[in-house]
Structure 1
Amino acid sequence: MPPAAVPPAPQVLAARTAVAFVFALNGLAVASWFSRVPAAREGLGLTAGQLGLLLLAMSLGAILAMVTAGAVVHRAGSPRTAAGATALLAVGLVVVGLGIGGWASVPVVAVGLAAIGYGSGLTDVAMNVEAALVERRLRRTIMPRFHAAWSLGTVTGAGLGAASAHAGFPVLAHLALTAALVLFGTLVAVRSFLTARPDGYADQADDASATAGRSRDSGVLRAWREPRTLLVGLLVLVMAFTEGTANDWVAVAFIDGHGVSEAAGAAVFAIFVAAMTVGRTAGTIALDRWGRVPVLFATIGLAVVGVAIAVFADSTPVALAGVALWGLGASLGFPVGMSAAADDESRAPARVSVVATIGYTAFLAGPPVVGLLGDHVGTLQALLVVPILLVPALALVPTTRKSPERTAPIDS
């Protein structure tokens, strides 16, 4: 029987479901907080500038997580890292709720946001490392679908948050219930991770390699000196900027530039998120058929065209079509970059950590860069910084080609 026809073992299928569940819960947790940002601004009496500084606490926590994640995942493993980091994330949600709805304290909220950022970021690396392992065991591309699960989690979290706000449900109760759900679900799911099971590795050679890898240092510093890892990280940075700019600014840009209502601006953002989810779900088929490099060339091209249409179109429906193309084009860069970083299983935690650290800096730089440009040229025109970065990033796409260092064994 040819290798492609060998069915995956039951534990691999269970792990696939578990990893997707952790992705979705992580997205639910993060979006639950973002859905209550208006309540935080009102409850704490903050100006827009003060709110921006407060939000930086979460970004700083996430960056710290990226810097330390390689060593943590290397020592503790993906299941324990995801469980412990999600516990910290849950505590952060409760602390934020207390800071907004109980004590009305900016420092308390800042501490909670830092915990959310660190816990979510650490979970991000752990679940991507585990997802890459599952992808190799399945012998087909599936990483984008895990990221689609995260997107679905964010849509669910945003919807529940909006419903809670509309119903006047207290912020503390909302975030505390979310924290409990996310923590419980994650603790159950990680028990099915492949690296949580003695039979999760395909063969004894794989076990020996994994054991040898854990007996040495984490290799994070060495990964920072690898040209391919750094170049993949730069590509992920540009793709994260492409995605993050839409998350932060597309609604505001359409309100300011195309004159739509606030509700319509929210709908524009929903179109982008929906297109991202579709792209990540269907993109796996294209990646398996044509490979990473051709598909990324095509999708980045879609993003460039989409942003240009969104900015320059005179008709709002046409501009909305541009947003959909933007979402489709931005959907695969981040997950494919994570897969590329994890090609060599023994080096995956270190390389994923480095790539994620580089990529996450986009979430620190993106909001102020676009905001400052918007002050000078308008928010809508400021979005053109995205294609300006995407075009030269095409030169980085070949770095995602599968590494020849190691070939995944066939499941039996």
Structure 2
Amino acid sequence: MSQPAPHYAHSPRVWVGGILAIFTVFGLGFGSWLSRLPATRDHLGASTFEMSLIGLGIAAGSVIGLLISGRTVTWLGPRRTLTIGAIVQAVAMPLATVLFWTEATIPGVVCLFIYGFSFSTSDVAMNVSGAAAERALGRPRMPALHAGFSLGSVSAMGIGALAEKLGIPVPVHVSIIFVLVVAVALVAVRFVPHDEHAAQRAAETRTAASAITGSIPVIPAGAPAEPAPTRSPWRDPRILLIGLITLSMSLAEGVAADWMPLALVDGRDIANATGTLVLGVFFVCMTATRFAGAALLTRFGRVPVLRGGALLCTVGVLIVILVPAVWAAVIGAALWGIGCALGFPVGMSAAADRPATAVRDVATVSAIAYTAFLLGPMMIGFLGEHFGLLQAFWPLAVIVLLSGLVASAAREPRAAAH
């Protein structure tokens, strides 16, 4: 017989802390793979297009995971999903790197597929749980949660650059990291309630009071649920527009993560470690912006923040493309990171505005966003094979700028009512 969740698991503040730890270590794990992509490319002797095909392993697994994540998370619950996901990731990614280092490329791609499936499903679970914890707490916390993911990625960039300098083989580096990932995740998941709806109901009075005083611009946890049993989020124009916003910003984040170091190494003739460190600047700026996200959203609201971010991100991409200097790449990476920082977390909060359909809505927006995050960089790789990676960034600048035009879809419900 399963044991009930401990009392501390139902504290919204501690619940947020547990989800924050999970976001952080999952970012550390994913970022560790990204930080060693140049070394993996060099070891395999792969072309840009061949590396994009290897990336298809994670992309395909992630997309399939996302398409069924709504049912998976509803069936297992976020807590159990995160537990299983952490274990699977900790096995699949290190095994993939070992297989690549022994020239077993196809089995390695299969392991990346499994990792991608588990990672994307876990991502939906932690976003759903994070949105529920945010509601229970009564204050904006989603940007801080995603800042944790970025912080993990930033740390991974620094560790990856150090591992590159020390000549540590990728399988050894990645295996050590994922031991840490699974250890922290299995502890942190204990702070996530077994029954998140019960935890939200327990915090209902506090959340409603906070909403009245204006501390959080979303529907309180106890708001009437929308009775729409046959409603499909794929037919909801608002959810699709929110998906478009997160698609654009996720594409910006994914392209930077997958291709910025290689684009600078190939297009600007800099060292692998330098390219990794420039990507680190991107993640540092994105992380700092996400930590400031709650204050920015409270002061300006979702729509101005999203529009300003789209403009800054576009300028950053253009600087990286057009100015052939390392210092310019650093500035461009910084603006790029600041601009795209809040698109995904704001999109997740907006998708979860209706408690009755939050799981399906978040799963749908995540599916749209991660399709861009994972498949979009492959298209950049295809364009880069023919025109060069830096020139392949032009479509990204256009898509990001256009996302600002539909930012009003993410407007806070209370603001929309007025």
What TM-score range do you get, normalising by the shorter chain? 0.7 to 0.9
Partner of 1:369: 379
Question: Between the two proteins, what is the percent identity of the paired residues?
Answer: 35
Show CA shifts across 1:190-210 (max 9, x none): 11114557862234989xx99
Partner of residue 360 from structure 2, selected from 338, 350, 353: 350
Query: Whole-Å Cα distance in 2 between the matches of residues 47 and 32 of structure 1?
Result: 21
2 CA distance for matches of 1:382 and 1:170? 30
Whole-angstrom distance in 1 between the partners of 2:82 and 2:90 = 12
Work out which of the residue numbers 266, 289, 299 in structure 1 matches 2:299: 289
For residue 298 of structure 1, the aligned residue among 295, 308, 314 is 308
Give the corresponding residue for 1:80: 80
Q: TM-score, normalised by structure 2?
A: 0.83
2:141 match: 142
Distance 1:48 1:291, change over 3 A: closer
Residues of 1 paired with 2:388 and 2:44: CA distance?
29
Between 182-191 and 146-155, the greater mean CA deviation after superposition: 182-191
Q: CA contact under 8 A between 1:144 and 1:336: conserved in structure 2?
A: yes
Matches within 5 A, 1:123-162: 123-162=122-161
Distance 1:327 1:47, change over 3 A: closer
CA drift at 1:10: 7.8
Q: Does the CA-based 8 Å contact 1:195-1:201 persist in structure 2?
A: no
Q: How does 1:325-344 map to 2 (within 5 A)?
A: 325-344=335-354
TM-superposed CA distance for 1:370, in Å, is 2.6
Taking a change above 3 Å as real, the CA distance of residues 251 and 402 of structure 1, as seen in their structure-2 partners, is same
Alignment correspondent of 1:410: none
Counterparts of 2:319 and 2:182 in 1: how far apart (Å)?
41
Greater mean deviation of Cα atoms: 87-96 or 32-41: 32-41
Which residue does the alignment assign to 2:402? 392
Q: Which amino acid aligns with 1:15?
A: W
Offset at 1:247? 1.9
Cα offset, 1:341, TM superposition: 0.7
What is the correspondence of 1:38-53 to structure 2 with a 5 Å cutoff? 38=38, 40-41=40-41, 44=44, 46-53=46-53
The CA RMSD measured in Å over matched residues stands at 3.2
Q: Assess, with a 3 A threshold, how the Cα gap between structure 1 residues 56 and 302 changes in structure 2: closer, same or farther.
A: same
Distance in 2 separating the partners of 1:290 and 1:37: 38
Letter matched to residue 88 of structure 1: V
Change (3 A) 1:254 1:204: closer
CA contact (8 A) 1:194 1:201 kept: no
Give the Cα–Cα distance (whole angstroms) in 2 for the partners of residues 254 and 170 of structure 1.
23
Deviation of residue 329 (structure 1)?
0.6
Q: Deviations along 1:278-297, whole A, 9 cap, x unmatched?
A: 11111221101121011111
- In the aligned structure 1, how far is the partner of 2:103 from the partner of 2:388? 34
What are the within-5 Å matches in structure 2 for residues 58-207 of structure 1? 58-101=58-101, 103-196=102-195, 200-203=199-202
The change in CA–CA distance for 1:262 and 1:41 in structure 2 (over 3 A counts) is closer
Segment drifting more, 281-290 vs 358-367: 358-367
* Distance verdict in 2 for CA 1:99–1:231, change over 3 Å: same
Q: Deviations over 1:355-404 (max 9, x none)?
A: 11111111344224333444555433332222211232222201111246
* 2:250 maps to 1:240: yes
Counterparts of residues 393-408 of structure 1 (less than 5 Å)? 393-403=403-413
Call closer, same or farther: CA 1:136–1:360 in 2, change over 3 Å. Answer: same
Q: Which amino acid aligns with 1:115?
A: I
Mapped partners of 1:300, 1:258: distance in 2? 26
SS of residue paired to 1:384: helix
- 2:236: which partner in 1? 226
- Separation in 2 of the partners of 1:255 and 1:342? 40
Q: CA 1:229–1:195 in structure 2 vs 1: closer, same or farther (change >3 Å)?
A: farther
Q: Where does the alignment leave 5 or more consecutive residues of structure 1 unmatched?
A: 1-8, 408-412
Separation in 1, partners of 2:119, 2:151: 16
From the superposition, tell whether residues 38 and 272 of structure 1 become closer, same or farther in structure 2 (CA, over 3 Å): closer
TM superposition shift of 1:33: 2.5
Q: Secondary structure at the match of 1:379?
A: coil
Quote the Cα distance in structure 1 between the aligned partners of 2:273 and 2:95: 30
Classify 1:163/1:255 alpha carbon distance in 2 versus 1 (closer, same or farther; 3 Å).
Answer: closer
Aligned residues: 392
Closer/same/farther in 2, CA of residues 260 and 88 from structure 1, 3 Å limit = closer
In structure 2, the CA distance between the partners of 1:176 and 1:196, relative to structure 1 (3 Å rule), is farther
Distance across 2 between alignment mates of 1:337 and 1:81: 22
Indicate conservation of the 8 Å contact 2:320/2:329, yes or no: yes
Contact 1:61 1:118 in 2 (8 A): yes
Equivalent position amino acid for 2:12 in 1: V
